[in-house]
Amino acid sequence: MTEKLAKQTGLVKGASGIYAFQMRVPVDLLSHYPVQLIKKSLGTRDLQEAKRLCAQENAELLAHWQKLRTPEEPRKTSISDAEIQHLVEMAIHSRLAADESIRSDGLDDFMWAKMQEWTKEVDESGKSAISRGMLDDHASAVVEDWLISNGYDLPQDLPDRKRFSLAFMKAQARATKAIRERDEGNPVDTPPPPSTILPAPPKVPAGDSSLTLSGTIQHFLARQDKTKPMYRKYDVGTRLLLQMLGDKPIHELHQVDLERYCQDICRLPAQWAKVAADTDKHPRDLMLAEPSQQCIAPGTFENTYKAAVRAYLNSSQRSFRGQGFPEYLSVENEAYKGSRGESERKQRAFTASELKRLFEGEELQNARHNPQTEAHFWLPLVGLLTGARINEICQINPQTDVLQDEAGIWYFNISSEGDADARVTKSIKNKVSRRDVPLHAELLKQGFLSYFERVRGEGAQLLFPTFKPKNRRAAGRAEEWFRDLLKVTGLRDETPGKTLTGFHAFRHTIETRAKNLRVGSINDITGHAGPESAVVRGYQGTLELANKEELLNRITFELNLSPIA
């Protein structure tokens, strides 16, 4: 537990006696941060020193927030070799100077451990970037922050962005090497900051009439990572905005336009995109006259269309402040106005009898005994006994992602990293979804390792290679197959609020079973975010693999499955 010191803004005292600085991010600046609470150790148990450092941190943070809120010059959309060199040298100086400053105050065991942890994280990101030319989430965030703070706006797929990213990570690797030399007690001087003063970006007149809705949407989409699941939602949502409002100069875009847009799309049919494509009609011509008809769902409104416009507005307000992009535009207060219920498509858990029908039925049992179709048996069983999402399972590479630790525990490594099938772009829902999941004892009993070893021996890079990927997703065809299986077995249930329509029902099933068996929380196994904040989860860490295995094996199901000899 931390002790809040009321007389000093942002000062808290940890259980170890070491003071820290923490501040909650203002609502209007949340788009700039991955978490809502900023917390930084001050590395001291001395109250007076902590107050001094806290005041310094507070002043610097408030100044940074003021800068974020202050209209700025248009950002540069290209970068020269000289500018890359300048920023790289500045990055090395900044990191080594900060490291030297921390050391000069003295390092207790806590701060020493934290510094080792930070250095390892940066080092691992840098090695991955340099060896494979790909940045992980941590490295991408650092590069983006460094570019934005220095006045650059370089889209993800721009060659200039890639040149800078690689040069920046090489510089970080050199800085890491210097820091490790210091860790060994070897003197390493901090290099002076670069003396070159780069020219400021040219001014662009406010209210530039050439700035259009289509142009700013194109700019927004170009900056997004096309491999991330949210990209498709951003693409669909912003293009619908353009269709509904029409292309117009951005200074003619008003809050009332966004209010009308949010109201109108709530009247679109649930399958409006398919209907529009089949009939070549404009979305506005498809709006339902009767509210009782099947319109888009509340979740789709919030998580696709509203989320896409929110992200577009936040990005454009940062990128085009000096060009007249209205800063007051927002969709935060726009509520769903459709006729659908909030949870009518929510899936429920399988009942015991439904699980017996599914796994003991002739469909899966026949598939199990046929080498051409046995994946049809293993995929649902893995889903039931891990609670993993279907794409997380289908993208598992048997060559690299099914592992055994030193204690002999077999486990799945679920992440967006590592080698993937050439037809697949690996992805996970969020950082919490990156996890190791032990193989349940029932999987081992049923002979899953024999199946796995055979698939691996054939050189496959998908755990279930008979299911072909679709649109870069490993689970594309598997999802369709499982939905059809529910229909064939008579298990599909369309009851509003408690449907049984897809693979996601297995997540509810294992969570419900764990609760009824009083096993406790299995979020570390299923990769469910849970109620804890990202900050809390970061401090708590995750369960060790052996503990996960013990927890998982306590969850059993009443199925009569005979292992194959």
289-341 pLDDT, tens per residue? 655 567 888 888 888 999 999 999 988 888 887 777 888 888 888 888 877 76
> What pLDDT, on the 0 to 100 scale, is given for residue 412?
95
> What pLDDT, on the 0 to 100 scale, is given for residue 70?
58
Which pLDDT band, with edges at 50, 70 and 90, does 390 fall under?
A: very high
Q: How far apart are the first and last CA of the chain?
A: 54
pLDDT at 487 over 90: yes
> What pLDDT, on the 0 to 100 scale, is given for residue 542?
67
Tokens for 456, please give them.
């691996």
pLDDT at 443 over 90: yes
With pLDDT > 90 as the criterion, what percentage of the chain qualifies? 31
CA-based R_g, the chain, Å = 27
- Cα(193)–Cα(353) distance, rounded to whole angstroms? 70
In terms of average pLDDT, the best of 15-19, 95-99, 183-187 is 183-187
- Cα(72)–Cα(357) distance, rounded to whole angstroms? 63
User: Which of 262-266, 335-339, 439-443, 491-495 shows the lowest per-residue confidence on average (mean pLDDT)?
Assistant: 335-339
> What pLDDT, on the 0 to 100 scale, is given for residue 546?
93
Question: Tokens 């490594």 belong to which residue?
Answer: 413
pLDDT digits (tens, 9 = 90+) for 449-468: 999 999 999 999 999 999 99
The mean pLDDT of 360-383, rounded to a whole number, is: 93
Tokens for 441, please give them.
């004892």
Q: What angle do CA 353, 354, 360 make, to 5 degrees?
A: 85
pLDDT at 110 over 70: no
- Cα(327)–Cα(314) distance, rounded to whole angstroms? 9
Describe the crossing of helices 230-245 and 213-222 by its angle, rounded to 10 degrees: 180
> What pLDDT, on the 0 to 100 scale, is given for residue 448?
95
User: Which of 66-80, 393-407, 468-482, 496-510 shows the lowest per-residue confidence on average (mean pLDDT)?
Assistant: 66-80
Distance of CA 371 to the CA centre of its chain: 36
Tokens for 377, please give them.
């048996």
> What pLDDT, on the 0 to 100 scale, is given for residue 197?
53
Domains and CATH numbers, the chain: 213-323 (no CATH), 352-553 (1.10.443)
Q: Provide DSSP, 298-315.
A: HHHIIIIIIHHHHHHHHH
In terms of average pLDDT, the best of 26-40, 158-172, 511-525 is 511-525
In terms of average pLDDT, the best of 139-143, 155-159, 363-367 is 363-367
- pTM value is 0.51
pLDDT digits (tens, 9 = 90+) for 342-357: 555 678 999 999 999 9
Question: Residue 149's CB: how many other CB atoms inside 10 A?
Answer: 12
